[in-house]
Amino acid sequence: AGVPVRKQGEGVASQVALARRVSPEKGAKMLGLAKILIAEMPHTFALMKAGLFSQWQATILARETACLSVEDRRIIDHRLCAFGPDGEAPKVVSMGLRQLENTAKKLAISLDQASVVARAANAVKDRRVSLRPAPDTMTWLGALLPVKDGVAVFAALDQAAKAAHAAGDERTRGQVLADTLVDRVTGREAAGVRPKVEVKIVMTADSLAGDADQPAFVEGYGPVPVAWARDALNDAEVFVRRLFTDPAGRLVAMESKSRKAPDGLAEFITIRDGGVCRTNGCDAPIRNIDHVERHADGGETSSRNLQGLCERCNQAKEALGWQARPGPDGSIITITPTGHAYTSPPPDAWTPDPPPLSQGELRLREVLLDHRLAA
C-alpha cells in the first residue's frame, strides 16, 4: 500500500485493545509481549502453552530482560524456563512473583550490568504523578519517582506522623500521612487558608440550590452525591462556571467555524466526555480534541463532530484504514482496518435520576435482602 517502513503496524495495538476490551496501553503491551515470546523467548512461551505460566509471569520476565541483547535474553529464557531432559517443569513455575522478578534481575545484572545501569538511569525520565478514582468519592494519588526522592518524601511524611503521635494527635498514622501530604503540596499548612483551586463540578441549578438531588459530576472522577458536591463547594474558594444542559441532562452543543476547537469549545468537549478518552476501554485523560470526521474531509468543528482522545488513540486513528463517524444519538462509530466496528455511546456529563426498578429487579432485591437477613 506504499506505507513507509517506520509507519507499518501503526494502529495494530489499538485494534488488539478494542478486540480484548482493554486500554490501548494494555493492548500495546500485549502486542509487544506476543512478538517477544514468539521471536526471543520460546521456552517462556512453551510454559504458557502448557498452562504452567501465566501471562503476567511472562510479562515479568520480558520486562526484566528488556534492556539486554537478544542473545542474553535467550540465555535467561533457556536457564529459567526450559523443560528438563525428562520433560520435568523448571523450578521457575513454582516461584512467587517477587522471587521470579528478583531471579530475573540477578541474571540480567550478571550477564550485562552496564545495560541494567543505563536502563535505571534512563528510567528517571519516566517520573510522573497520576490520579485515578477510588470508591466512595476518594482518589488514588500516585507518583513514580527515583528511589532517593521517593524514600525522602515518605521519610518526611513519616517523621510528621511520628511527631503528631508524640503530641497526642488522635488521627491515625495513615490519616496524618495523607493530611500532611495535602497540606504541604497545596501550601494550605503554611498559608493557613483554604486552597484556591478549580475543580469542575457539573450539576443542575436546582441541585446547586438544594431543590433537587440529582447526582453531580466531577471531571476526572465521575458521578458523586449532590450533598457531597455542595460540601465540596463550601470547602474552598470556588469559581463557578455555568454550563447549561437540556432537559435530559446533556450539555448543550457548541460549534465553531475554525479548524482548531477554540478554548471554550475544547473545554466543553472535555467536560462533556468526562475528562477521559472516548475510545472504548481507554481511561486515559483527554489530551487532544479530535475531529471524528476529518476536517480535511469536510468534518465540522462542532460538538457533534468532536471527541476527546488521549494522544495514543488520536495517533492510532490517523493510521491507514481507520474510519470514524458520529452517530445520530451522539455516539461515535469507529471502524478499524480489519472491518470491525466499535461504538462509543453518547456521554452524559452527569446522569439524571435512574429509571425505576423493574419487577424482576425488585424481586431480586427482595431475595438478596432475605438471604442477607437469614445469614
Question: Do 104 and 117 lie in a common domain?
Answer: yes
Identify whether 289 is part of a domain: no
121, with CB counted inside 10 A (0-12, 13-18, 19+), is: exposed
Lowest mean pLDDT segment, chosen from 142-146, 259-263, 361-365: 361-365
239: left (phi over 0), alpha (psi -120 to 50) or beta: beta
- Residues 296-317 have pLDDT tens digits of 888 888 888 899 999 999 988 8
90-96: long-range pairs with CB below 8 Å, 24+? 90/47, 92/47, 93/47, 93/52, 93/53
Question: Do 87 and 160 lie in a common domain?
Answer: no
- Residues 301-359 have pLDDT tens digits of 888 889 999 999 998 888 888 999 998 878 899 999 999 999 988 776 444 444 565 66
Question: Do 135 and 98 lie in a common domain?
Answer: no
Identify whether 354 is part of a domain: no
* The three cell numbers locating residue 27: 493492548
Question: Do 137 and 116 lie in a common domain?
Answer: no
Q: What is the pLDDT of residue 215?
A: 76
CB 316 within 8 A of CB 16: no
C-alpha pair distances (Å), 80 with each of 47, 101, 104, 200: 11, 12, 8, 51
What amino acid occupies position 371?
H
Of residues 205 and 261, more confidently modeled: 261
Identify whether 230 is part of a domain: yes
CB 287 within 8 A of CB 295: no
Q: What is the pLDDT of residue 350?
A: 41
CB 17 within 8 A of CB 27: yes
Q: What is the pLDDT of residue 351?
A: 41
Q: What is the average pLDDT value for the chain, to the nearest integer?
A: 82
* The three cell numbers locating residue 206: 436546582
- Residues 16-56 have pLDDT tens digits of 999 999 999 999 999 999 999 999 999 999 999 999 999 99
Question: Do 119 and 133 lie in a common domain?
Answer: no
Question: Do 139 and 207 lie in a common domain?
Answer: no
Q: What is the pLDDT of residue 375?
A: 47
Number of structural domains (the chain) is 3
Question: Do 110 and 151 lie in a common domain?
Answer: no
* The three cell numbers locating residue 165: 503521635
> Using CA atoms, how far apart are residues 338 and 273, in angstroms rounded to an integer?
27
CB 194 within 8 A of CB 107: no
- The separation between the first and the last C-alpha atoms of the chain, rounded to the nearest angstrom, is 65
Question: Do 119 and 144 lie in a common domain?
Answer: no
Q: What is the pLDDT of residue 221?
A: 67
C-alpha pair distances (Å), 24 with each of 16, 158, 295, 318: 8, 37, 24, 15
Domain that holds residue 83: 40-123
Q: What is the pLDDT of residue 301?
A: 85
Question: Do 55 and 117 lie in a common domain?
Answer: yes
Question: Do 44 and 114 lie in a common domain?
Answer: yes
B/e letters for 17-54, b = 16+ CB within 10 Å, e = fewer, are bbeeebbbebbbbbbebeebbeebbebbbbbbeeebbe
Identify whether 373 is part of a domain: no
Q: What is the pLDDT of residue 256?
A: 53
pLDDT band at residue 72 under the 50/70/90 scheme: very high
C-alpha pair distances (Å), 14 with each of 19, 87, 134, 305, 349: 9, 38, 26, 21, 26
Model confidence pTM above 0.75 = no
Is pLDDT at 237 greater than 70 in this prediction? no
Identify whether 56 is part of a domain: yes
Of residues 198 and 238, more confidently modeled: 198
> Using CA atoms, how far apart are residues 231 and 236, in angstroms rounded to an integer?
9
- pLDDT more than 70, % of the chain: 81
* The three cell numbers locating residue 339: 472491518
> Using CA atoms, how far apart are residues 225 and 156, in angstroms rounded to an integer?
35
pLDDT band at residue 59 under the 50/70/90 scheme: very high
Is pLDDT at 244 greater than 80 in this prediction? no
Of residues 250 and 157, more confidently modeled: 157
Of residues 308 and 224, more confidently modeled: 308
Q: What is the pLDDT of residue 258?
A: 60
> Span 88-117, mean pLDDT?
88
Identify whether 287 is part of a domain: no
* The three cell numbers locating residue 265: 469549545
